[in-house]
Amino acid sequence: MTEVFFYLVKSDQSFEHIRRLLVRSREAGWRTIVRAGSDSAIDSLDRQLWTHPPESFLPHAVAGGEFDEDQSILLTTDENIESIAESLILFDGARVKDDAAAQYQRVSIVCAIDHESEVENSRAQWSRLSKAGTRLQYWAFENGKWNCQAQKNYPSTDDVTAASRPSPENSSVGG
């Protein structure tokens, strides 16, 4: 069953968190689509992934190439792209449709807490996906570690705080 994890980060920490999620997804053997709300956000992420230290390089491509289906990490703004992945990472205000979320094992929504429109967008997605019965978790970075603040639609829980859940940094797929 699909899980959707919401992460609130400062905008200057978005890249590093997306990068950590990509590393964890790769370790799990998942192919990942990273979707942004704008072409400029995709261009920026692409540049940062290419210029990151060589020893930690993550092979990726921007959608629209001849070999998109062969990519383990595909960057795009297209919300109608055919799912070729187990993981979807959204940032820069990108949204997921209810039926599209179900195509993935994990959807990660990275929200810049210092951008009010992204916070409002994330709240609206939480509400909509919650009503659809999707398993949801909300994570915040506090005191140097990730803490699960809330979860919804998990067996034996109903909108409870989940401080005892493993952090994304310690879980097998990293949130």
Write out pLDDT tens, residues 1-54: 899 999 999 988 899 999 999 999 999 999 999 999 999 999 999 999 988 877
3-state SS string for 95-114 = CCCHHHHCCCCEEEEEEECC
Rounded average pLDDT over 92-105: 90
Of residues 163 and 110, which shows the higher confidence score? 110
Q: In this structure, are residues 19 and 150 in contact, taking their beta carbons and an 8 Å threshold?
A: no
149 pLDDT higher than 70: yes
Name the residue among 12, 28, 67 with its Cα closest to residue 173: 28
Per-residue pLDDT, 173: 46
Percent of the chain with pLDDT over 70: 89
What does the domain layout of the chain look like in residue ranges?
3-137
Q: In this structure, are residues 101 and 129 in contact, taking their beta carbons and an 8 Å threshold?
A: yes
Q: How are the residues of the chain apportioned to helix, strand and coil, as percentages rounded to the nearest 5?
A: 30, 25, 40
Percent of the chain with pLDDT over 90: 67
Q: For residue 92, give both structure tokens.
A: 């820069």
* Domain 3-137 annotated CATH 3.40.50.300: no
